[in-house]
Structure 1
Amino acid sequence: MTDRTRSAAARAAFGLMAGIIALGAAERAAHAADPIRIGEINSYSALPAFTEPYRKGWQLALDEVNAAGGVLGRPLEVVSRDDAGKPADAINAANELVTREDVALVAGTFFSHVGLAVADYAARRDVFFLAAEPLTDAMVWSKGNDVTFRLRPSNHMQAAMLAEEAAKLPAKRWATIAPNYEYGQSAVAVFKELLSARRPDIEWVGEQWPPQGKIDAGPVAQAIAATNPDAILNVTFGPDLVKLVREGTTRGLFKDRAVVSFLTGEPEYLDPLGAEAPEGWIVTGYPWYDIDTPAHKAFLDAYQARWNDHPRLGSIVGYVTIKSIAAIIAKAGATDTAALVQAARGIGLETPFGPITYRAADHQSTLGAFVGRTAVIDGRGRMVDAVYRDGADYLPDEATAGALRPAR
């Protein structure tokens, strides 16, 4: 081979190598611009009062994250599915998202039994799962697993907040009304435990367990009245709450009785009652109209500009869910499950309610809740005298909480 031939061959080889390198760089650049896909599942058709504002919340957060350049130089994309409030549908949706849609993680769910089903699926498939709404304590304690984290303040946290106020009441005879599924059962059990610990003189005189979404409010109110309680714990929500309030008011159930109620101060459930809203109930909720912190004002302005509507508690949950995911992926620097789990443990971020942390020991976030009383103002149900309670103050310490989880 002559020197000229060798030189031409070298140039050709160099050109081929340069082409391969350029092609590889182009492919890497194209891949870097591919969206990070997030699988999202919720009970949109089963409980639109909460889940539609929740969807608007996560859409707003998604817009903000992507407008700021996405995460790891890639946009986020949400692939959403409706579980219809059914565990089997939720598992099918999760499987489709993981196996066909190539999502990096799964988030969402509303009902506690649905969330637990998805958490079990996530553990079996080694998929990161951020449970947005399910409130049962089992989610992060007795049935907690390595890949599941939870955003909302749990039954234990909200029960502790409410028991703190309930213990100040003179009432000794208590009755309970709660939907007969995981959430209602868990909420009643932990409230009873925490209030009885504060007030050993409490007597539990009656309970009613209507099926979720199918309450026959008249007989329920009559049965509770027959036990002659001084106070009532209510855990019903949505249309069941509306029916219970109307029947209970008509029958005088709430007259001269204290009522402590999970979730009733949330606009999703208080707004539909209008002038029929009960007055003086001790509740957890979201008084969006009375929160004047800079972080909440920024969220409120952005939400109203985007949707021409006021937010509900679901809006906050959806918004913080996506903001949490973006922060976790950014910290992880990758989207594989092991990296996401490691990044999520102990991560902190800012929210419209203030800073929160996802605790390393039990994967529970420290997002709190507002506690106040119900009132009717200008013909509308409102939450008054509300005070934000930091979730961190109503959780057992991390060592204690970690011991509540299954042994690894």
Structure 2
Amino acid sequence: MPRFSLSRRALGATGLALLARPGLAQPAPIRIGELNSYARMAAFAVPYRNAMQLAQDAVNAAGGVMGGRRIEFVFRDDGSTPGDAVRVAEELLTRENVAFIAGTFLSNVGLAVADFANQRKRLFLATEPLTDAITMAQGNRYTWRVRPSTFMQTKMLVEAIRGRNVKRWAIVAPNYEYGQSAAANFKRLLPGAIPGAEIVAEQFPALGRVDAGATVGALGASRPDGIFNVLFGADLTAFVREGNTRGLFERRTVVSLLTGEPEYMIPLGEETPEGWIVTGYPWEQVETPPAHKAYVDAYRARFNDTPRKGSLLGYVTVQIIANLLNKANSLDNEALIDALADLRTDTVVGPVTMRGLDHQGTLGTWVGETTLRGRQGTMKNARYADGADYLFPEDEVRAARRSA
């Protein structure tokens, strides 16, 4: 198992000496509440939880945090609805006595928990929800986000098509906060990359209930040169299957959020389309930093499975949390918030900073093209896009958060 990236020196010599003395009472663990869509979004959330447990054990084996205290995550399902998630967050704080809360998957759920955190004045480290509103228009002092937002990832994709002669675009996205936010960002950024480009069709099927035949038919009827896709999970699989059958993707540029992540590539299998421009995680191709390979080896050895994008996010989240606790050296909520501002953590994919201005992490992702390797889809020509290069402009952040 790899050592946690923080050195033993950072943990404190006194704490390590105490750990080494048999018979001495161990300090109580620091409990952290984690709520996520483990049932509904299991393909992402279960590997995410696995990696959090792996990282938790690595931190504890290296001496813990704050001079020798172990960390312990308390996992709960958020019900995939705003109301259920707020109830679970309340239970974690009051019944489980956690120091703070982290997690959530769906953007509307993340926004509800962010509002709850603001009302309760307790730290919420949002990990997966991608909506820009979490750190912009509805941002608050107590909510921070690890993963790159819809704006950041859409900007990465638009940059990848800059200058192409693809003028007529269609959009397909799930009809909830994440999909609407991604579509709005694409429409905002596209003209700067391809002057004269226009949106000729938009389809917003209900999340988890896409009518693939009708959606593909409507997109094809608009005769686009390019398609911006935001569907994921089972919706993506149905869309790709129907689109392949009807030839929707032939001789068209397709730009697709998240599709290169193993969670969504594995179900596609041999149906993986060739040449889509995507964000994703080609874990087997990541060679630097060396800590990434050590993490992958440890994950595969423990779970007898390959890592997913959720796995990476879970592991990095724990690294950030451990670093935060060591920096704050306190469980006081306001001290934790202050310590998060511009906190830099050396993670298994390189440095990640929690920007104090908007509470957005600089964790990046990979941009490349889909391809078949044998009978399984993967990415080719992939490069790591550092999130620090794709953040909202500072003046825009100040204006959005001032009006929040």
TM-score by length of 1: 0.91
Alignment of 1:156-175 (within 5 A): 156-175=151-170
CA drift of 1:215 comes to: 0.6
How many Å separate the matches in 2 of 1:168 and 1:306? 45
Where do 1:176-187 residues align within 5 Å? 176-187=171-182
Which of 389, 395, 399 is the aligned partner of 1:403? 399
Q: Deviations over 1:159-216 (max 9, x none)?
A: 1100011223211000000000000000010111011233230110001000011111
Larger Rg: 1
Whichever residue aligns with residue 362 of structure 2, its letter is T
Asked whether 1:344 is paired with 2:336, we answer: no
The answer as to whether partners of 2:158 and 2:186 remain within 8 angstroms in 1 is yes
Contact kept in structure 2, 1:359 and 1:398, CA below 8 Å:
no
Amino acid at match of 1:387: R
Change over 3 Å in CA distance of 1:100–1:216 after alignment to 2: same
CA RMSD between the two structures:
1.4
- Once the two structures are TM-superposed, the CA of residue 397 in structure 1 deviates from its matched residue by 4.0
CA distance in 2, matches of 1:76, 1:295: 21
Match of 1:317 in 2: 313
Counterparts of 1:1-400 in structure 2 under 5 Å? 33-72=27-66, 73-293=68-288, 294-400=290-396
Q: Deviations over 1:294-353 (max 9, x none)?
A: 121121111112212110000011111111111111111101110000000000011221
| Equivalent position amino acid for 2:314 in 1 | G
Task: State the SS of the aligned residue for 1:335.
Answer: coil
Residues in 2 aligned to 1:38 and 1:396: alpha-carbon distance in whole angstroms: 29
Tell whether the 8 Å contact from 2:171 to 2:229 is kept in structure 1 after alignment. Answer: yes
Contact 2:169 2:227 in 1 (8 A): yes
Aligned length: 380
- Give the fraction of aligned pairs with identical amino acids, expressed as a percent: 55
TM superposition shift of 1:31:
9.1
The 3-state SS of whatever aligns with 2:371 is strand
- Equivalent residue for 1:16? none
Letter in 2 for 1:383: M
Aligned-pair CA distance for 1:219 = 0.4
Unaligned runs of 5+ in 1: 1-28
Task: Say if 1:361 and 1:398, in contact at 8 Å, map to a contact too.
Answer: yes
Runs of 4+ residues over 4 Å off in structure 1: 29-32
Cα distance in 2, alignment partners of residues 305 and 402 from structure 1: 45
Structure 1 residue identity aligned to 2:38: Y
Equivalent residue of 1:247, what SS? helix
Task: Identify the range of structure 1 (103-112 vs 76-85) with the bigger mean alpha-carbon deviation.
Answer: 76-85
The offset of 1:63, in angstroms, is 0.6
Gaps of 5+ in 2: 1-22
